Amino acid sequence: MPAKDAPSLPPTALAVLGILSFGRELSGYDVKKWADSSIRFFYWSPAPSQIYAELRRLEGLGYASSRDAPDGDARGKRLYKITAAGRRELRRWLRDAPAEPPVLKHGVALRVWLGHLADPDTLRATVEAHRDYCTHMAEGLERSHAVAEEQPDFAYPALVTEWGRRYYEAERELAEKMLVDLEDLAARG
Amino acid sequence: MPAKDAPSLPPTALAVLGILSFGRELSGYDVKKWADSSIRFFYWSPAPSQIYAELRRLEGLGYASSRDAPDGDARGKRLYKITAAGRRELRRWLRDAPAEPPVLKHGVALRVWLGHLADPDTLRATVEAHRDYCTHMAEGLERSHAVAEEQPDFAYPALVTEWGRRYYEAERELAEKMLVDLEDLAARG
DNA sequence: GGGAGCATGTAACGGGTTACATGATTGG
DNA sequence: CCAATCATGTAACCCGTTACATGCTCCC
């Protein structure tokens, strides 16, 4: 019986455990692919090396169990599965831990903030690149959404992918407005 | 003459140098207050201890100079000022370094993503709290915007505070929509 | 045969946080 | 006088990344 006053796992561990919580038996490699195709759009995707480390930690805590892949499958492959204790821990976290405020590190905004030091053309190009990046992310989320809607147990992920699409849509519009404001500022001098 | 192929400073150093780039002579404490009242809305506010460390680093690189506060002012107080080299370095960074994609770690989205493990009421409360947080941030940005507009050399910061206000406005609306979607999902069961 | 993708890891590093320590100044 | 705020810093810690190493399997 682990976890007395469990000092709450780091975000990455929770995220990995969360991926396992959909019930599939996954290798570290699989977890990385999942992360890349879903949570990386609104959270982030840990480095492979850390995923393996987190899986070992989760197993150590009894939140996941693992077994070697059956013969015929790639040798050395290890499959992880969430345990009842792991599911309990996730539920506990969702219920008890206050939601941390979203972390936003917006390098583009920082650059505009420092506009007095930048060449106007570079600045504009930066914001335009960001606008295109938003379009790109929105497209990624559409694909992710399509996948989620096929699976009956992915109702919540589908909600979030749709939320994410709207988010990047809005971000794109904000970039568009920013370009106008930048133009105005340059005109007024 | 430092900086040959300068390995580009970490974000915190750039942010601190950016704060100094508005020309004021600031103490570490002042820098922290500035960060809290402006860039923390779209970037983030480093811990005090780190700000002091970054200021020392910047001085070591020749990007900032410092002097003791004049007598009559608090003893032990140290004031930092950006140097020409520091301004050059910032300009170089804005021009040459590709803008890093925004980092978003949205804990609320992650929680909804794991909705299959959560109690519906808790989930709703989480999203509602997030909506209120957005309102709160938007208000903070309005205040920040008002301050920026008073200063003639804060045109770019004013642009960004306005952008930020719109951002949190949009985030709030997304939270509102999410609540509706959550309701729908619960109704369909 | 060889390259792309599968699969797992180690080691070193650095960035950033928390917790703590210290002391001065100011205002009620 | 006492609390709040000003002001600066040290030490320990851990999270996460990068870079690297290794070897397999599948397919052209």
Phi-psi region of A82 (alpha: psi -120 to 50; beta: other; left: phi over 0): beta
Radius of gyration over every alpha carbon of chain B, rounded to an integer in angstroms: 21
A147/C18 CA-to-C1' distance in Å: 41
Cα(B118)–Cα(B29) distance, integer angstroms: 42
Residue B77 has pLDDT above 80, yes or no: yes
**A78-132: pLDDT as tens digits:** 999 999 999 999 999 999 999 999 999 999 999 999 999 999 999 999 999 999 9
A113 contacts B156? CB cut-off 8 A: yes
Please say whether the dihedral angle defined by the alpha carbons of residues A84, A89, A95 and A101, taken in this order, is positive or negative.
negative
Give the residue from chain A lying closest to B86, CA to CA.
A117
Mean pLDDT, residues B149-161 taken together: 95
**A126-169: pLDDT as tens digits:** 999 999 999 999 999 999 999 999 999 999 999 999 999 999 99
**A171-185: pLDDT as tens digits:** 999 999 999 999 999
Q: What share of chain B is helix, strand, coil (3-state, %, to 5)?
A: 65, 10, 25
- pTM here is 0.94
Amino acid, single-letter form, for residue A151: Q
- Integer CA distances (angstroms), A137 to A9, A133, A171, in order: 29, 6, 10
Smallest Cβ–Cβ distance between A43 and the set B109, B117, B164 belongs to: B109
A81/C4 CA-to-C1' distance in Å: 28
Asked whether A116 and B156 are in contact (CB, 8 A), the reply is yes
Mean pLDDT, residues B133-155 taken together: 95
Say which residue the tokens 């013969």 belong to: A71
Mutation target for A interface from B17, B110, B134, B180: give the one with most A CBs within 10 A.
B110
Cα(A77)–Cα(A56) distance, integer angstroms: 14
Residue nearest to nucleotide D16 (CA to C1'): A50
Smallest Cβ–Cβ distance between B159 and the set A107, A112, A122 belongs to: A112
Q: Which of A102, A69, A79, A87 is nearest to A22 (CA)?
A: A87
**A6-24: pLDDT as tens digits:** 668 999 999 999 999 999 9
B26/C26 CA-to-C1' distance in Å: 20
Residue A33: burial class (beta carbons within 10 Å; 0-12, 13-18, 19+): middle
Q: Determine if strand D comes within 7 Å of the CB of B49.
A: yes
B43 contacts A114? CB cut-off 8 A: no
Q: Determine if strand D comes within 7 Å of the CB of A10.
A: yes
Q: How many residues comprise chain B?
A: 189
Give the residue from chain B lying closest to A183, CA to CA.
B159
A74/C2 CA-to-C1' distance in Å: 20
Q: What average pLDDT does chain B have?
A: 94
Residue A1 has pLDDT above 50, yes or no: no
Percent of chain B with pLDDT over 90: 90
**Helix, coil or strand: residue B80:** strand
Q: Which of A54, A109, A113, A111 is nearest to A86 (CA)?
A: A54
Residues in CB range of A115: below 8 A, 6 or more apart: A123, A182, A185, B155, B156, B159
